[in-house]
Structure 1
């Protein structure tokens, strides 16, 4: 069980960016983790994020009193991380110009403020303003909840990366376990998996070549369908039967989610955690200065967005609102693990397929029946 951070009035967030274009997992485990162990008792909170803007880098975020930051913590950040960069420099060769079109699109989609170029030098460290993302999150309470979650989940992040480095799992397979966990602890997996089908279908609709993308996702599932269906059974069994040997990190993730389900629910009830209701929008001809192809939504999304009763009874229900927060937090954790958006959407497709196969259900049939019942 975690407890909310209660920083004193004199604390503030401080941030250092570490630009490192090579594999960041060893940097996280062999430099950031021991740094966090060292500063734990001196700070109110600390967490680390991966980011892409102006080149691949880590963002080390620390909440502390200014004197503690300036006199103790910041010098140790530069000493510990600097020593790692000297001993294990990145030798990756990336082309900022080649990345720029993708980064422009990411910046628009993620409402990312700030310059995309120039890139600071690889293997460099610099102080930067803390990015609260308040313009996206919408309130100070939402910022506090997410930064608290980031801090509380950081020990699990390091443990999961260690687990993967030891060869006991792959990142996508471990991510599948976490996604199944957040879904099944919110509503039974035979209902909550519909979110994964919806997210994968949204991606496939807007892929550059939708038929080719769907075929690639289907091939990926077929190549390992036995492993995927077995993981569904293992994770759901771990959650349903406390006496059963646990799938790695499933119960730990469920316990963390339980704490934040309670905290998010309290904020939602007070109107301090506002989530815009998904609405059907006509596709714009351009996203910023980037052309957008004209696409018709698939049947699943047409059913959902053509039914005001479904949108009202599902999207505005407190259970769904809490689930949405926790699912988004889990997706953010997958980014911290190092998964790409493509890998995450492919996992959504894999999980939806595997749940449908294991339990004999269909996402689109569930939507049809739900709408028929609501509109009867």
Structure 2
């Protein structure tokens, strides 16, 4: 938590929520963080590549591609039931009513479903590498929404990150030599770019709204609460995706889609299954980093994963990595670096202040 962000918990609540980590050694905590980073990067990169594979081999249902992003949410029930519930502080605020929680989960779930639909449309009309580079703009959107919704302050480094990442995505948009899947017209390419950019904005908005929900309504951020939010919002998003699949009539084409899938029926089913599993592995990493560090840090690592996908796409799908894409990728890394450095400066400032408070307290007690 940086000094640019409003703390979600007060001191007593934060201590209670994090007490189970006080027994961990420093290297153990970093090991947990590293494991969750791996889950996020590996899960997201693999899911994007499998989604592109689904389209390349004959899949054409945007609602099916949307559904697999949340349908495997029951996997998250395993850690929810196995892990012990966190002990709440006696000073913690009363839990919100079921009605308020239901409204929060319903609204965020609808937003997630729409966001996933935009992502699916973007991946249909863009190559995996172009798609991932455009998604890098989500960090810039995150800074903007955090400023207006979560009262995060803008610094020169964050502003530089926003500008650089925006230009990075814009380079891809105006790149005349951008490769796109076969049969995709220039107009569909533009639609794919706009949908992906919109999805990145909505994803960042979702993180800010989740943080706002913790601050104003739930007022606690334990691992169980974060898992519950992930599960129930995914349940809503899955229901919306299923309704969309049947309402759009795409379900009628699924049988022919399976039969005409280039790699065969088994490959079709396994592609969808592993795509769903990979998205949930990714969500476990997202949830874990939100709990261990912060939602902002989770989004930063997600942006790093977007830089891995183009490299993997070049190897797996032989996507073209032309000069504009290389420049865009370097700009994305630069914007990410500025963001990380600002977070490092904020964290160092907080640590110095905490160290000063401890020294002052120790001096007063000795006197």
What is the TM-score of this pair, normalised by structure 1?
A: 0.31
Larger proportion of helix: 2
Structure of higher RCO (CA pairs closer than 8 Å, 6+ residues apart): 2
Larger proportion of strand: 1
What is the TM-score of this pair, normalised by structure 2?
A: 0.32
